[in-house]
Structure 1
Amino acid sequence: MMPILLLILFLLPAVFALPASPINEDSYDLDASTHAVTNTSEGIWQPPLGIGWEIVLLAPPTTYDDKIPVYDIDVWDNPKETVDSRHAKKQKVVCYFSAGTWESWRPDAGQFPDAVLGNKLGRWSRGQNVERWLDIRADVVRAAMSARIAKAHEQGCDAVDPDNVDIHDNNNGLSLSADDSLNYVQWLIAESHSRGMAFGLKNAPDLLPSVMANVQFAVNEECVQKGDCLLYKKFVAAGKPVLHIEYPKGDDINNDPVPDEQMAAACAFMRSHRFSTLIKNMDLDEWVQHCQTGLTPVHPGQ
């Protein structure tokens, strides 16, 4: 018996030293977790880790893929009928709006006085369309954002995707700090939850530890490009999804697939950490390339 016992003791360290099984790439497909969405005890939707999704913001989508569980669309450009039609297909709808910037083309643009407007966002301010950072401390800004969240609720949105909450990390011209952004995000979360909608933290990974328990998912742009995807490690360990977008083509807007090498880099955290990764054009039109091996780029509406 002693030789057998010694053999077992010898083998145990090797057994526990074996690496964990890698995530099966095929287990993450457009049907993965389709409609396998859960709800919290408060009735707020909690999307599962690794859920498939699509985001189209440039204009209302011309077509929808009924196999995709979640669509992220603009709250201004898509009426309640669109949300209802997605619900009829058992899909969830995330409604996008900018929570940290003034956009000159929005219907409520006149509600923001000059005193709350900061620097322009150079990339997105073109021609008559101007975008400027907002003083998120101002009551008038919060009143307008509360109305936007109410609009999302009235349209039946399951969650909100408030953009530009990382205002402290940009040249805003308003002397806004990380504490200002955190206070604002916490307020946005409360506003969303009070209306029964889930909340996705857009970018701002430095704020994530302070709000992780209260947000249902994260939306990240270009963490592979920026090298900060590992900041979401604890978030996915908690079972919460990262809806992740990479823009390997940069400012080039076209329907060409990205090379295999770029695709592999963009999709690395989908494989290692179950990110919900999409490859998109920077303007977030309908062109999309999914990470699954062998899946060709999708060109809806063409």
Structure 2
Amino acid sequence: MPSATRELSMRIRPAGAEPPRRAVRVGRRGPGRWAAVLLSVLLLGPVAACREPVVPPGAPTPWPAALARQWQWQWQLTGPLDVTVEADVFLLDPVRTTSAETAALRARHRRLVCQVPVGSYAATDPDADRFPAAVRGAPVAGATGRRWLDVRRWPALAPVLADRFRLCRGKGFGAVALDDADGYLHRPGFPLTFDDQLLFDRRVARLARSLDLSPGLVDDVPQVAALAPDFDFAVNQECVRRRECAKLLPFVDAYKPVFHVEYTGDPATFCVTTVGYGFASMRKDRALDADRTPCPLP
């Protein structure tokens, strides 16, 4: 075939043929700095992470009712993570925990819960500059560098919290414990009411579920009766010392786990009470390192 004829035939499409497709460059809409931080945390982990496939859970963590009184748990926020602890559930910091560590825990069939502050922020948080000045409140007592957030301003908080939850999912967590979800009990710098807090906590629980995370309530004991239907589990600190363990029974009655910790007292004494209630209990230091003294199972 002459070269001119061959060139012409290459330019003419047969009738009914689809036009050639051009590569389309898709612009990624990111929420800003947090997305970049999230990506860098995932990619800059230890080399071991390259050998372990990082596969997020396919659904929120299940909590079978038949096992409601059979859980053992670990809460570690400081020190080298000990993945060999004999516990079914690990409550961890999603920023400092690596994808390799969560992969090792999931290989041992552990349930992973990330602790996310939803009602507060610290200047050292990678997303701190995303909170407008109008939502920043008073210091959180006993938590150096943390400040309360105005939980009434949901449109300003929701995108930031969603990205915090996405970090959990990207690291392989299947559940999230919502920390500092009780600002109305303190002096947050805003006139927060009981109902303001209820609305916010329910919104955050729904947000977690929309991102395939099982939501858990940290403390906020006065609202447990109202919030138990909205959450899958509870995390409680020192209900024995504070004499308020009975207020957590709406979770137990619904066959939902209550993960409880005491920082003082003899486990041989308080375990009788908390295991009798149906809690998963242990004694730990306030540093929340790897050491723990779990209560025996019933």
Please list, as runs of the form range in 1=range in 2, the aligned pairs for 1:217-256 lying within 5 A after superposition.
Answer: 217-248=233-264
Among 171, 184, 187, the alignment partner of 1:155 is 171
Please list, as runs of the form range in 1=range in 2, the aligned pairs for 1:13-92 lying within 5 A after superposition.
Answer: 44-46=61-63, 48-50=67-69, 51-61=71-81, 63-65=82-84, 67-92=86-111
Q: Letter of the 1:76 partner, please give it.
A: V
Please list, as runs of the form range in 1=range in 2, the aligned pairs for 1:92-171 lying within 5 A after superposition.
Answer: 92-125=111-144, 130-138=145-153, 139-171=155-187
Separation of aligned partners in 2, 1:159 and 1:65: 20
Alpha-carbon deviation of 1:103?
A: 1.2
Separation of aligned partners in 2, 1:149 and 1:43: 12
Separation of aligned partners in 2, 1:120 and 1:275: 32
TM-score (norm 2): 0.74
Separation of aligned partners in 2, 1:180 and 1:239: 27
Q: Letter of the 2:175 partner, please give it.
A: A
Among 260, 279, 283, the alignment partner of 1:275 is 279
- Dislocated runs of 4+, deviation >4 Å: none
Alpha-carbon deviation of 1:229?
A: 0.4
Please tell me whether the aligned partners of residues 60 and 77 of structure 1 are also in contact (alpha carbons under 8 angstroms): no
Secondary structure of the structure 2 residue equivalent to 1:244 = strand
Aligned to 2:32: none
How many residue pairs get aligned? The number is 235
Separation of aligned partners in 2, 1:278 and 1:91: 17
Identity %: 26
Alpha-carbon deviation of 1:68?
A: 1.4
Alpha-carbon deviation of 1:67?
A: 3.0
Q: Letter of the 1:264 partner, please give it.
A: A
Separation of aligned partners in 1, 2:80 and 2:89: 15
Alpha-carbon deviation of 1:277?
A: 0.6
Separation of aligned partners in 2, 1:269 and 1:158: 30
Higher alpha-carbon Rg? 2
Secondary structure of the structure 2 residue equivalent to 1:239 = coil
Alpha-carbon deviation of 1:178?
A: 1.4
Cα RMSD between the aligned structures? 1.9
Separation of aligned partners in 1, 2:125 and 2:146: 10
Aligned to 2:4: none
Note the alpha carbon deviations across 1:253-281, whole angstroms, 9 max, x for none: xxxxx6xxx32343233331121111111
Secondary structure of the structure 1 residue equivalent to 2:97 = coil
Please tell me whether the aligned partners of residues 121 and 128 of structure 2 are also in contact (alpha carbons under 8 angstroms): yes
Alpha-carbon deviation of 1:143?
A: 1.7
Q: Letter of the 1:121 partner, please give it.
A: V
Alpha-carbon deviation of 1:44?
A: 4.8
Aligned to 1:30: none
Note the alpha carbon deviations across 1:6-33, whole angstroms, 9 max, x for none: xxxxxxxxxxxxxxxxxxxxxxxxxxxx
Aligned to 2:49: none
Separation of aligned partners in 1, 2:151 and 2:137: 10
Please tell me whether the aligned partners of residues 113 and 175 of structure 2 are also in contact (alpha carbons under 8 angstroms): yes
Please tell me whether the aligned partners of residues 200 and 218 of structure 1 are also in contact (alpha carbons under 8 angstroms): yes
Q: Letter of the 2:147 partner, please give it.
A: R
Secondary structure of the structure 1 residue equivalent to 2:283 = strand
* Cα separation, partners in 2 of 1:212 and 1:163, compared to 1, 3 Å: same
Separation of aligned partners in 1, 2:207 and 2:179: 15
Q: Letter of the 2:62 partner, please give it.
A: W
Alpha-carbon deviation of 1:43?
A: 5.7
Secondary structure of the structure 1 residue equivalent to 2:100 = helix
Please tell me whether the aligned partners of residues 74 and 95 of structure 1 are also in contact (alpha carbons under 8 angstroms): yes
TM-score (norm 1): 0.73
Task: Structure 1 unaligned segments of length 5 or more: list them.
Answer: 1-41, 249-257, 294-302
Moved more, 68-77 or 141-150: 141-150
